[in-house]
Amino acid sequence: TNKVSVIESWLRKHRLVYVGATRHPFIHSIRDGTVNLNSFRRWLEQDYIFVRAFVPFVASTLVKAWKQSGDTNDIEVILGGLASLNDEISWFKKEASKWDVSLSNVVPQEANLNYCRFLERLTSPEVEYAVAITTFWAIETVYQDSFAHCLEDGSETPEDLKRTCERWGNDEFKKYCDTLQSIAEGQLEKAPEDVVKKAEVAFLDVLELEVEFWNMSSHGG
Ligand code: HMH
């Protein structure tokens, strides 16, 4: 059938919000090479804190997959996500030393704290798997879409920043996001209406929190 999927319909309905999160001025500044390097350093140190908080959220999503879906494929995909977060933490440490950023005493800023609290709320066993996996997909997809934009033809991303853009903008990460999307879609198709509504709200929350995160990186605060 050519029925529009739940996620596809949200992307249409919330197009402007989605574009706001994935084509933020901070991303434009990386893409056109005008990015302020202190802003980039701030993003790097704050995102390291974010990723550390992202791990328990993804782990809790794995537990939900195991309890509520039991699908072997879902569990392996989420486990793969956890494994890549393990690599990501090492990557942050290496990258930070290249930029003279110290990760040992980073003070999380307000936008980051808000985002980490949101993740923590979603680790609750009362939050449905459909909501958690949709949130997981949204979080990964915003970075994939944003950083891939910095690598497209015509972009003038400085050489030093390409390593970062490639981390999330590469084709394999795109495929991983597509897989998460189809898992989320499968859950949403069979979820009751109130759960689909909660997942939509969580999707919009992610977009808003991502915009605040980019704002924080650009200007501090
Ligand atoms: C703020 N959103 C933020 N940081 C990340 N590392 C990702 C998404 C994707 O992993």
Using the atom order of ligand 1, give the atom closest to the CA of residue 144: 9
CA of 2 to the centre of ligand 1 (A): 32
pLDDT at 1: 55
Q: 212-221 burial, b if ≥16 CB within 10 A, otherwise e?
A: bbbebbbeee
Enumerate residues lining ligand 1, CB below 6 A.
47, 50-51, 139-140, 142-143, 210, 213
The per-residue pLDDT for 217 is 97
Q: Which of 44, 48, 50 is the pocket-test mutation for ligand 1 (most atoms within 8 Å of CB)?
A: 50
Nearest CA to ligand 1 atom 9: 140
CB 161 within 8 A of CB 38: no
Contact 200, 208 (CB under 8 A): no
Count the neighbouring beta carbons within 10 Å of the beta carbon of residue 17. 17
Query: Contact 103/92 with Cβ under 8 angstroms?
Result: yes
pLDDT in tens, 132-183: 999 999 999 999 999 999 999 999 999 999 999 999 999 999 999 999 999 9
pLDDT tens readout for residues 1-35: 568 999 999 999 999 999 999 999 999 999 999 99
Probe residue for ligand 1, chosen from 117, 139, 173 as the CB with the greatest number of ligand atoms within 8 Å: 139
